[in-house]
Amino acid sequence: MTAASTARTDALRALSIPEQLLPGDGRFGSGPSRIRAEQMEALQSVSRTVMGTSHRQAPVKQLVGRIRAGLSSLFELPEGYEVVLGNGGSTAFWDMAVFGLIERRSQHLVLGEFSQKFATESAGAPHLGEPEVLSAAPGTCPSPRANADVDAYAWPHNETSTGVMVPVRRPAGASEDQLVLVDATSVAGAAAVDVAQTDAYYFAPQKAFASDGGLWLSVLSPVAIARAERLAADGSRWIPSFLSLTSAIDNSRKDQTLNTPAVATLVLLAEQIDWLLARGGLSWADERTRTTSGMLQDWASRREEITPFVTDAASRSQVVTTLDVDGSIDATAITSVLRSHGVVDIEPYRKLGRNQLRIATFPAVGEEDVAALIAVLDHVLDATADA
């Protein structure tokens, strides 16, 4: 580090940000995301009616039913598609897919940390063939390709670690019995999607749905449900009961989960779904996140010290914006001074190892807070430019 860089880092760490510049809510994390105050108030309102009661009884079952119906409306489900849910988060769903959806061999698009994890699970399954893995460097976007030797295609709609979005459409030339499994954890509820292009559009609720983790939800097609039922019935593979997709389907149809769920997570999720629907649903959320992420991209274009990590504008995420910071400026010093002022969780993904900012703009993040964040960043960069 040069003497000038050291001086600027010292100046950054000592900087005081005027209170009037700060956003009303300084949470910009890529997950868990900010939870609205109204959701917490709703949680308090059911402290004696839903919380601390059996998940097999009407109050919690009605809550699960409200979630399933709300998601059906939000995603405008095609005929025969079902909302299924269970405990364990998206990580658990990868294992459920390995046991209950992939029949022989899968194809995986790998473009970051999270897409790699699903491919690794498939590769380690002794009952499956070696998956076909199509990799791209972090910050870039591979494309699926038709392969008659695979029975499932898997990729993330949005790669949280890098800020890349991948189109959701069936690979050209893919047959009807080849499943499309799309991990939508960091973008479901925030971006427009045609779920008919998928057979499992699955996610956890701690991002755009402004809830906590530990739960997975999936929109399953009739073809995916039939595949799961056939694999479970033929007895050719052992399926752990906790990872049984058919058990999750059966329980979801009864508006319950196999094991006791985190009821508070369900309450927060239900409130956020209703909030999204009341504002115009997925089209409203899509427009909002495009606007707020666009504000950050426009800001980066005005600052010579800041460069979008994803060079292809068409591949840039509308919910997770990754911005490289010039090497003469210590990005950790920026995030440190902002954190000391209540603006938090804009650090880069740890394993990416870049001098970078990573800023989430899920639907709960309004334009006014993004504008304030930009003003804060301008103040920080400008105030230390001559240090």
Helix (H), strand (E), coil (C) string for 239-287:
CCHHHCHHHHHHHHCCCCCCCCCCHHHHHHHHHHHHHHHHCCHHHHHHH
Contact (Cβ atoms closer than 8 angstroms) between residue 56 and residue 232:
no
Q: 89, 204 in Cβ contact below 8 A?
A: yes
Task: Report how far residue 366's alpha carbon sits from residue 254's, in angstroms, rounded to the nearest whole number.
Answer: 36
pLDDT-derived band of residue 303, with 50, 70 and 90 as boundaries?
A: very high
The percentage of the chain sitting over the pLDDT mark of 90, rounded to a whole number, equals 93
Contacts of 57 (CB under 8 A, 6+ apart): none
Sign of CA dihedral 101, 106, 109, 110: positive
Residue 359 has pLDDT above 70, yes or no: yes
Q: Determine contact, residues 257/248, Cβ cutoff 8 Å.
A: yes
pLDDT of residue 387: 63
Average pLDDT, the chain: 96
**301 exposed, middle or buried (CB, 10 Å; 0-12, 13-18, 19+)?**
exposed
CATH number, span 37-278: 3.40.640.10
Give me the sign of the Cα torsion angle 387, 331, 364, 163.
positive
Q: Residue 21 and residue 79: Cα distance in Å, rounded?
A: 49
Give the tokens for residue 296.
């950050």
How much is the CA Rg of the chain, to the nearest whole Å?
A: 22
- The helix-helix angle for 281-302 and 367-383 (nearest 10°) equals 10
Task: Please count the other Cβ atoms lying within 10 Å of the Cβ belonging to residue 238.
Answer: 7
What is the rounded average pLDDT of the residues 70-85? 98
- Single out the residue of 364, 285, 289, 313 nearest to residue 164, CA to CA: 313
Where residue 261 falls (left for φ over 0; alpha for ψ -120 to 50; beta otherwise) is beta
What pLDDT does residue 178 have?
A: 98
- pLDDT computed for residue 1 by the predictor: 61
The pLDDT, as a whole number, for residue 2 is 80
Fold of 3-36+281-383: Aspartate Aminotransferase, domain 1 (3.90.1150)
User: pTM of whole model > 0.85?
Assistant: yes
Starting at the edge strand found earlier in the chain, the sheet holding 356-360 runs 306-308, 320-325, 356-360
Residues 324, 349: Cα–Cα separation, whole Å: 12
Average pLDDT over residues 194-219: 97
Residues of the chain with CATH 3.40.640.10: 37-278
pLDDT of residue 12: 87
- What band does 200 get if pLDDT is binned at 50, 70 and 90? very high
Specify the domain boundaries for CATH 3.90.1150.10 within the chain.
3-36+281-383
Flag whether pLDDT at 4 surpasses 90. no
The arithmetic mean of pLDDT across residues 130-149, rounded, is 96
